[in-house]
Amino acid sequence: MLPQDPAMLVSVLNLRMRDFDLTLDDICEEEDVSEEELLQTLAGAGYRYDAENRCFR
């Protein structure tokens, strides 16, 4: 289960992408969440996904 707090969510996502060599798509499939909804939620909190570096900033 992913955290609801945007700052914690970004931390968990970045850690999983970095440490486990996962893509955002991989995580969304594992967690059964919509990538688009996740991106929109985090964009609303000021975070943007950097696909080239596979991380949120």
What is the pLDDT, as a whole number, of residue 50?
Answer: 97
What is the pLDDT, as a whole number, of residue 42?
Answer: 98
User: What are the boundaries of each domain within the chain?
Assistant: 6-56
Is 9:2 a contact under the CB 8 Å cutoff? yes
- pTM score: 0.94
- In tens, the pLDDT along 5-55 reads 999 999 999 999 999 999 999 999 999 999 999 999 999 999 999 999 999
What is the pLDDT, as a whole number, of residue 41?
Answer: 96
What is the pLDDT, as a whole number, of residue 57?
Answer: 96
